[in-house]
Amino acid sequence: MKGGVKMKKNKTLIWVLIVIAVIVALLLIWNFGFRTGNSIFTGYAVGDNITTCPYCGDISESGRVDAADVAGFSNNYGKCNRTINQGDLNGDGCVNSLDLAGFSTFYGKLCTSIATGVIDAFSSPTGADVYVDSSKKGTTSLVTGLLRIRDVVSGSHDVTFSRAGYANTTKLIYVSSGCQASVAYAYLQVPCTPNCAGKNCGTDGCGGSCGTCSGNSTCENGQCSSTCIPTTCSALGKNCGTWSDGCTGSLNCGTCSGNQTCSSGICSNQSQPSTGSIYAVSSPSSAAIYMDDNIYKGSTPKTITGLSAGIHSIRITYPCYYEYNASVNVIGGETVNVNANLIVKPSICRGTALSCNSLSSNGTSACLNQVGCYMNNVTCMGLSAACNTFNSSSTCANQLNCYWSC
């Protein structure tokens, strides 16, 4: 037991001596380098500012690599999984002798003039491709999970991590100009496959939904179950029609009898109208309409209203067409359609007879009593043997004192 305690004390002492040695080395570098102007600061004269950022070491973020950063560098010396802000200047994930040279090179330099910044991208698992604003910058180390991205324009950037078999992860990172790195950590997740098989509600296992239950139903084990008690027609005060039962079904509350009608779910008596209508049409149209006692009602097409329920006679006439006659049963509150397809009368070529014309003023009977005479409206006309020989309207019209008539 005492041996173990002694060994632990020895290890602690060794680390203390290492830290002291690093501090002393850095102080000696500073003393002999900056004070004497030695060329230990490769490529830089004493007092020059840092204008690029391959390495830095401004751990304290004071804008200058100075004694304030020595302690931070020393505390992380010999440790891995460290960032550039913790002293890992060369990006291998560990703070070691390789970083010491860079740290000493920039000791005493100003970092404020650097126009670009650094992103330290860490992924778990390691080996992820890293994209900055859709531009691939490399792959995180399989050992440390780190990818150091230098010379990044200051401002906001989308850093995306991509690895086969894992869902992409994107982080919004703000990069400041200078040597201090902006750190982006990504813990990649295995993609989730939604599954709603056999479900009509609840979660799909990936944060999505398989549906929701309607009404008063609840979701149990992916299935909607009803806890609703349906209402009744009596409870609703209905005796006709179809209505919701208050759950997911419907209620058939019956039909009304006789002349009753269903209004808002209640049967009520409705008196039968005492009058109806006739809608009369004809071919050709504009034919005269006569109802019952030869009362003229207008011309087709026309709706004749205010007719008492029962049987009515209708007559439809048109010049040179046989008239249409029918009996129509008018129903109260309804309209009956009458469609008269009139048939044309045959026409012949007629001629004027002066002997018949002289009878015009004596009336129809006097005209009809004369052989070869007939009444055409108010004129007594006579047949002409010469005109009768023409059997078309065109040839008839070309003959003197002849005309075409039905």
Mean pLDDT on 80-107: 71
More confident residue, 357 or 45: 357
When the candidates are 2.60.40.10, 1.10.287.130, 1.10.10.10, 3.90.1150.10, the CATH number that belongs to 115-191 is: 2.60.40.10
The residue whose two tokens read 């804008």 is 63
Antiparallel, parallel or unpaired: β 275-283 and 335-341: parallel
pTM above 0.75, yes or no: no
Q: Is it true that domain 275-341 has CATH number 3.90.1150.10?
A: no
Rounded CA-CA distance 55/103 in Å is 7
Q: How far apart (Å, rounded) are the C-alpha atoms in residues 329 and 336?
A: 8
Q: What interhelical angle do 97-105 and 67-76 show, nearest 10? A: 170
Cα 247-251-254 angle, rounded to 5 deg: 170
pLDDT of residue 271: 64
Does position 130 have pLDDT exceeding 90, yes or no?
yes
DSSP annotation of 61 reads: -
> 13 versus 157: which is more confidently predicted?
157
Lowest mean pLDDT among 111-125, 199-213, 370-384: 370-384
What are the Cα distances from residue 122, in Å, to 76, 134, 140, 291, 345?
18, 17, 7, 100, 104
Q: How crowded is residue 177: how many other Cβ atoms within 10 Å of its Cβ?
A: 18
Whether 115-191 shares its CATH topology with 275-341 is answered yes
The CATH H-level superfamily of 12-113 is Dockerin domain (1.10.1330.10)
Higher local confidence (pLDDT), 140 or 22: 140
Closest to 31 measured CA to CA, from 111, 109, 108, 110? 108
- Token output for 227: 């806890």
Asked whether the predicted pLDDT for residue 382 surpasses 80, the reply is: no
Euclidean distance between CA atoms 57 and 38, whole angstroms: 20
What is the spatial distance between Cα 54 and Cα 240, in angstroms, rounded to a whole number? 87
Residue-averaged pLDDT of the chain: 75
Q: Please give the Cα distance from 292 to 93 (Å, whole number).
A: 113
Under a CB-based contact definition with an 8 Å cutoff, are residues 24 and 30 in contact? no
365 against 384, higher pLDDT: 365
pLDDT for 53 equals: 41
- Spell out the domain ranges in the chain: 12-113, 115-191, 275-341, 348-405
Which residues are bridge partners to 373 per DSSP?
Answer: 382
Per-residue pLDDT band at 189 (split at 50, 70, 90):
confident
335 SS3 class: strand
Quick: pLDDT tens for 46-72: 333 444 443 456 666 666 677 777 777
* pLDDT value at residue 362: 64
pLDDT, residue 52, reads 42
Q: Average pLDDT, stretch 297-325?
A: 89
Q: What is the DSSP letter of 240?
A: S
Is the pLDDT reported for residue 140 higher than 80? yes
Q: How far apart are CA 258 and CA 242, in angstroms?
A: 19
